[in-house]
Amino acid sequence: MNFENEPKLGIGIYTASEIAQILRVPYGKVYTWMHRYWDGKLGAKYEEKYSWQMDGTRAVSFHTFIEFYVMMRFSESGVKPQQVLQAHSELSQMYDTAFPFAKKEVLDSISTDGKNIFFDIDGVNLTLNGTKQFNLDIIRIFFVNLDFGDNDLASRYWPLGKEKRILIDPKRKFGHPVLVKQNIYPETLYNHYIAGDPIPYLSHIYQVSEQEVKDAIEYCTKDAA
């Protein structure tokens, strides 16, 4: 099993609170999944932990962050956590990776009816419930917000969609959201904005477009789910 999840440059660092903020989900859900499922049931399976200790709190890599979103969407659509974990287990064996929900081929072929998770392979539709059609649109929406690397694993995430200029790249600023062309944090522009600095001024000072400033403000003010 390919399990490379040690903290190092280029794989991103995300605490539970950061994941909750980026994905607009309650912190409690992230914490529960991180401890009960990632480090609990899945971690026990691989005899590894998906998270690591970071400045007194637990953090995970970019690929675990991506997997969390997919697993959470299945759960919110009505699929029970045990079914999600079973699908993860089967796909892990199929693709020899600890992060199957971060693979392009998997995300492009997976669906649910709100009870079971299905996977289409070579034109055959498998039910991933341990016994061997209905697309889950929100997974498709998330899929188009991802870029994939040469290894077919998710490499970058556009939290507001690719038409906006906010990017999450684990190779830049430890995976913190930044503007696409510069390593400027959205919060930097937003904090100036709420302090009273107008958008044209911020655009001029930071040498970014006014639209980029607006995207940064939108990212920082978007309500949590």
What DSSP string describes 178-221? EESSS---HHHHHHHHHTT--HHHHHHHHT--HHHHHHHHHHHH
Give yes or no for residue 203 having a pLDDT over 90. Answer: yes
Determine the pLDDT at residue 171.
93
Average pLDDT, integer, range 123-148: 69
Give yes or no for residue 135 having a pLDDT over 70. Answer: no
d(CA 16, CA 56): 12
**51-60, 119-128, 173-182: which has the highest mean pLDDT?**
173-182
Tell me the one-letter amino acid at 6: E
Give yes or no for residue 196 having a pLDDT over 70. Answer: yes
Do the beta carbons of residue 62 and residue 175 sit within 8 Å? Answer: yes
Give yes or no for residue 149 having a pLDDT over 50. Answer: yes
Determine the pLDDT at residue 118.
80
- Residue 163 structure tokens: 């038409």
**Per-residue three-class SS string for 98-135:** CCHHHEHHHHHHEEECCCCEEEEECCEEEECCCCCCCC
Of all residues in the chain, the percent with pLDDT exceeding 90 is 35
Of all residues in the chain, the percent with pLDDT exceeding 70 is 84
Maximal CA-CA distance, the chain: 61
Determine the pLDDT at residue 224.
42
Tell me the one-letter amino acid at 47: E
Give yes or no for residue 110 having a pLDDT over 50. Answer: yes
Determine the pLDDT at residue 133.
52
Determine the pLDDT at residue 169.
96
Average pLDDT, integer, range 7-15: 76
Mean pLDDT of the chain: 83
Chain segment 66-95, per-residue pLDDT in tens: 988 888 888 778 888 888 888 888 888 888
Determine the pLDDT at residue 199.
97
Give yes or no for residue 146 having a pLDDT over 80. Answer: yes
The shares of helix, strand and coil residues in the chain, as percent rounded to the nearest 5, are 45, 15, 35
Determine the pLDDT at residue 123.
59
φ, ψ at 197 (rounded to 5°): -75, 130
Rg (CA), the chain: 18
Map out the domains of the chain with their CATH numbers. 1-143 (no CATH), 156-225 (1.10.10)
Q: HSE (CB half, 13 Å, CA atoms) of 140?
A: 7
Q: Helix, strand, or coil here: 41?
A: helix
**11-20, 21-30, 91-100, 163-172: which has the highest mean pLDDT?**
163-172
Do the beta carbons of residue 194 and residue 203 sit within 8 Å? Answer: no
Average pLDDT, integer, range 38-62: 74
d(CA 51, CA 15): 9
d(CA 142, CA 50): 22
Tokens 């999840």 label which residue? 5
